Amino acid sequence: MPTARIQFSKIDTDFEMLIRSLREVLADSDQPALAETLPWYRDEPAVSPGDVDPIRETHALSIAFQLLNLVEENATIQARRASESRPEGYIEPGMWRSTLEHLKSLGYSAEEIASALPGMHVEPVLTAHPTESKRRTVLQIHRQLYLHLLDMENTMWTPAERENIRTQITATLERLWRTGEILIEKPDVASELDNVIHYLREVFPIVIQKHDLRLRQAWVEAGFDPKLIERPDSQPRLTFGNWVGGDRDGHPLVTADVTKHTLRRLRNAALKLLDAQLEELGTRLSLSDLLQHPPSELVQRLAEYESKLYDSDHQPPAWRRHEPWRRMIDAMQLRLAAARKDERNGYRNADELSADLKLLAESLEAVGAGRLALTDIFPVQRIVDVFGFHLAAIDVRQNSSFHERAISQLLNAAGLEDWDYASWDEAKRLEFLNEELKSPRPLAPRKADLGAEANAVLGCYQVLSDTIDQHGPRSIGSLIVSMTRTLSDLLAVYLLAREVGLVRREEHGLACLVSVVPLLETLDDLERAPGILDAFLQHPVTQAGFALRGQNPPVQQIMVGYSDSNKDGGLLASQWALNCAQTELTEVARRHGMKLRFFHGRGGTPSRGSGPTYRFLEALPTGTLSGEFRVTEQGETIAQKYANAGTASYNIELWLAGVTDTTLKHRRGGETDAELLEVIERLALYSKTAYQDLLTSDGFLEYWSQVTPIDALERSSIGSRPARRTGKRQFSDLRAIPWVFSWNQARHYLPGWFGLGTALDRLERDDPASFELLRDRGRKMPFLRNVLKNAETSLASVDPELMAEYASLVEDETIRERFLSRIQAELALTDAKIDHLFERSREERRPRMLKTIRMRDAGLDRLHRHQIRMLRAWRALRAKGQETQADAVLSHLLLTVNAIASGLRTTG
């Protein structure tokens, strides 16, 4: 039986079991009518929704969708495992097996691949964008349910034991039913940090071991010598980044104290993780010196440590006298504990701990116990390499306009008559900045009260400077400048950093201790980017920073944003602008003898850069992936991709294997289809024109603000950040995440597809030969295939009937009819043109995707209609000034937001 059919069968079987358990819980909770409203696996029609409390029904349907999501996740994992166990050896795209086979086909030898692996570096960056709508408590209950599903996979259980697992499932479902789902109050940064630390400490250490095992297995199955990759430093590098407690772009709650607290918590969590790893290692290395003689290097270092760490009142346990390996680990734990207290005998950094672990491994190999070095020491070395003493490097992000106001305040405090930096043109700014950045002298007195923005920036930078002085630079990621539009936006950060000694005189000149990174977000920013980068790389402070970091060749990080460029120009124009910018930026770096490390700010929906990992990597422009790769993991995608070890291991393997495959493929080069690229350039322009024409049409923003629940979303408690950067009620100030979220809730999915149909239709009418070229070669091109499939994912989730229901909320009939008919016409055109391009219907090409969507339709239809009724009632109460009554309706309205997000499997 094909894998897809096995997967669907399992989804049906497991989902039916859970739905019956949920019905049992509802019936036992005095909700028998509610139990009968669930529309799945029934012999007779469900009870009419009008017969039950809509709030209770919303809650029940939300839980049902969460169960379906868990079932689909488990079914996918089990189908993957079954496929890998077949004799014919199915190879999943994007995994290590397929990567190694592909690289062999390109002519790479085992030795060449092994030598390249250490140069691969992937860093997922965990963020707290406002897209996770569920409470952490609920996520933990989901985890319990998932583990119960895994228990059911075990064939060893007796009937009685299986029945007990079902009982546990029902009890857990009752716990979920009786637990409030959505966040009543906005989470603070500390609670968001709790969530991030949970993944970093509890999930990813397990995942790393699973990944390394899978790489070794795939290596052997490819016929390669396992000795080539058996040491820790022969593996591809994995590290983690973090934005929680560092990202202050439009987030006034992230203060200098919050960043300081975040750094301290991450360090403490890392040291606790490493102590637990050493504790476990100590239980394993029980070797006796009566049976083997430890090497002199180990004996000498142990004697050195014990002389410093013990005194007459505190000695190693007598019963460990003949266990030098365990005594060494005891001493290492004492040094780790001292590091946590910043005491003299503590490890100064993770490198010192790594050196001791290396000594332990070499001492085992010296006595012939190399197998123990591989199985026991190697995993701990990998944990140290991944997490260090900081767990995850924290980025600090701030908006360029915020920096402009900070500099104005700084100049005013310094007594300059012409202090209004924010009003200066670019030429004047550059003249001033270049002159100032010749000296390490600060402008303002230390600890002076400069103004809100300047105090905020310098307070944060002081925390970073102090941290580097005390613990070194590894806990600090980079200084990211949102809305980088000019060279001065980057140099301004150097000036501000100089005020607290974060820019200081070094051997090669004035250098910044932390990398400054442009974030290119809008279409205009992406177009200007090559010129900005060219000038920035030549700047003396930038050059001195490269020399300080000692990289060869130097590496400059560039962050590219998928959200705002999509909000500006629609899906195709955004993706094409990102593609072209990466190619041009890579060429700029090549001319300077440098590598670029692209940081991809992807979100959870296709319109914000999401989609299958291997397709995303495959579609990157040739030559732009250097082996250095960062990517955001945002909001609800963290739980979806990493909540459970099996899924988390799969996703980490996709990143590491995919980056390796794509990087080495790029090194082989490839031919450029100039004729096809010119056609896609035109297509992107046509698409952008159609999309922007819609957005700028008179009355469109009124349509959007009423047809979607954006006004309710702005009052929700999803994430600690506000939905707008400054609180202004205008389109340009709206964050891209709620823009996408609101269209999804109203089942328009507009940012993910609008304009594409018009573009394809115009190309076919105006230039049939180019359209045929697109059909012949374009659909095989990874970039275009990725864009079209992502657009189709959005299109498949659009519901024209529900679109019309939401449009009924628009009060002005003329505006309502004008835009609804226009959007529906573009929808029909886009569907038809994509089918025409691929020469087969979507039903034939994407049955699995459509099956998962249709399983949700019945429940979602009810939820959307509940939401529409509540939106209408809530807005009417607010219009009458009845805010107390409106607030009561709002809490129920937000339940529908959460439930629909669960059903759609995405927010923004």
* Catalytic residue IDs: 129, 567
Place of tokens 């149909």: 757
Q: What are the tokens at 124?
A: 């997922």
Q: What Rg value do the Cα atoms of the chain yield, rounded?
A: 29
Of 384, 365, 381, 382, the closest CA to residue 373 belongs to 365
8 Å CB contact between 602 and 640: no
User: What count of other Cβ atoms lies within 10 Å of the Cβ of residue 310?
Assistant: 14
> 722 — phi, psi (to 5°)?
-70, 155
Q: Annotate 224-242 with DSSP letters as a single string.
A: --GGGG-SGGGSPEE--EE
Q: What is the identity of the amino acid at 400?
A: S
Alpha carbons 718 and 734: distance in angstroms, whole number: 16
Q: Is 295 exposed, middle or buried, given 0-12, 13-18 or 19+ CB atoms closer than 10 A?
A: middle
Q: What is the identity of the amino acid at 253?
A: L
List the beta bridge partners of residue 555: 595
Alpha carbons 120 and 419: distance in angstroms, whole number: 46
CA 496 to chain centre: 29
Strands, E assignment, 357-430: 393-399
What do you get for the CA distance between the two ends of the chain, in Å? Answer: 36
User: What count of other Cβ atoms lies within 10 Å of the Cβ of residue 317?
Assistant: 10
SS3 493: helix
Largest CA distance in the chain: 92
8 Å CB contact between 59 and 181: yes
Helices (H), 539-644: 540-549, 563-569, 571-591, 613-618, 636-642
Q: What is the DSSP letter of 53?
A: -
Q: What are the tokens at 94?
A: 């994007």
Alpha carbons 837 and 684: distance in angstroms, whole number: 16
User: What count of other Cβ atoms lies within 10 Å of the Cβ of residue 820?
Assistant: 20
List the beta bridge partners of residue 560: 520, 600
> 126 — phi, psi (to 5°)?
-85, 130
SS3 889: helix
Q: What are the tokens at 894?
A: 């937000």
> 634 — phi, psi (to 5°)?
-115, 140
DSSP H or E run through 219: helix 204-221
8 Å CB contact between 858 and 57: no
CA 615-619-624 angle, 5° bins: 130
Burial 524-544 (b: 16+ CB within 10 A, else e): ebbebbbebbbbbbebebbbb
User: What count of other Cβ atoms lies within 10 Å of the Cβ of residue 783?
Assistant: 19
Q: Is 329 exposed, middle or buried, given 0-12, 13-18 or 19+ CB atoms closer than 10 A?
A: buried
Alpha-carbon separation of residue 461 from 261, 458, 469, 488 (angstroms): 14, 5, 12, 19
Half-sphere exposure of 846 (CA within 13 A, CB side): 20
Pairing relationship of beta strands 121-126 and 393-399 according to DSSP bridges? unpaired
Q: What is the DSSP letter of 187?
A: P
Alpha carbons 425 and 771: distance in angstroms, whole number: 45
